[in-house]
Amino acid sequence: MKRFSYIYWLSAILLLVSVAVYFIHYLIYRDAHSIFFYLVMDLAFLPLQVLLVGLVIERIMVRREKQEKLQKLNMVIGAFFSQVGNSLLRTLVDDLKNKEKICPQLNVTALWTTRDFVKAIEFAGKFPIEFDKNKLDLYRLKTFLAERREFVLTLLENPSLLEHDRFTDLLWATTHLDEELSARESLDNLPPGDRDHIVNDIRRMYHHLTAEWLDYGMHLKANYPYLFSLVLRTHPFQEHPSAYVDNAA
């Protein structure tokens, strides 16, 4: 209520100042014709000012604000992949039965364009994931997620996530998989249906994980080439990932 009262008072003061200036102008020049002429001209230009300020400039400011939020969010996404995502990508890619079909589609290179990234992201959201159930180390996965549970839950508390639905879906899928694994005292001799349920949770999480990793890689290529260089050398979808720089390249 105080805020509206302040606005009313400010409006009244500005209006009185305007009237006073016009009155002083009349006292000095005694030219009412000019006063009304320029007053009408100002009123005629007022709708254009509203259009310029209210639509164009405001839209530019909103876009800039959104870009700043996304920039901060990409820092959060980078922290996730540094602590959780990259390890999951490396661990689970070796458990894929159809690795030979998937890796070539996700093998990011220095020559990739935005179009290549977009195509790969679309592929990552729908490619058939076939895990080798006998190779999946559920205990290792359970321990890994449990150790990083607090970190992931902290990310979910970040209000900036409202700007990025896909990353939020990834965090929820990761959290749900952690809960499923933690809810079972033993992961040995699971009933076939129960094991299939867990594998489906892993599959869902991996879809979100690869798609978000590609989107983050596209962001790094455009804005942080030195960070993208490390991604190129270490990502698990290439034949021989290595952090070492090949001086001959």
Q: Is the pLDDT of residue 157 over 80?
A: yes
Confidence of residue 62 (pLDDT cuts 50, 70, 90): low
Asked whether residue 124 is assigned to any structural domain, the reply reads yes
Is 247 in a helix, a strand, or coil? coil
Q: Do 56 and 84 share a domain, yes or no?
A: no
pTM: 0.75
Confirm if 95 and 132 have CB atoms less than 8 A apart. Answer: yes
Q: Is the pLDDT of residue 69 over 90?
A: no
Q: Do 74 and 140 share a domain, yes or no?
A: yes
Exposure b/e, 196-233, CB count within 10 A at least 16 = b: eebbebbbbbbbbbbbbbbbbbbbbbeeeeeebeebbb
Q: Do 36 and 133 share a domain, yes or no?
A: no
Which residues fall within 8 angstroms of residue 169, CB to CB, at 6 or more apart? 208
Asked whether residue 240 is assigned to any structural domain, the reply reads no
Per the structure, the complete domain to which residue 197 belongs is given by 69-234
pLDDT digits (tens, 9 = 90+) for 177-201: 999 999 998 998 899 899 999 999 9
Confidence of residue 248 (pLDDT cuts 50, 70, 90): very low
**How many domains would you assign to the chain?**
2
Best CA proximity match to 139, nearest among 185, 78, 84, 194: 185
Q: Do 215 and 98 share a domain, yes or no?
A: yes
Asked whether residue 53 is assigned to any structural domain, the reply reads yes
Asked whether residue 29 is assigned to any structural domain, the reply reads yes
pLDDT digits (tens, 9 = 90+) for 94-115: 899 888 999 999 999 999 999 9
Q: Is the pLDDT of residue 40 over 90?
A: no
Q: Do 171 and 91 share a domain, yes or no?
A: yes
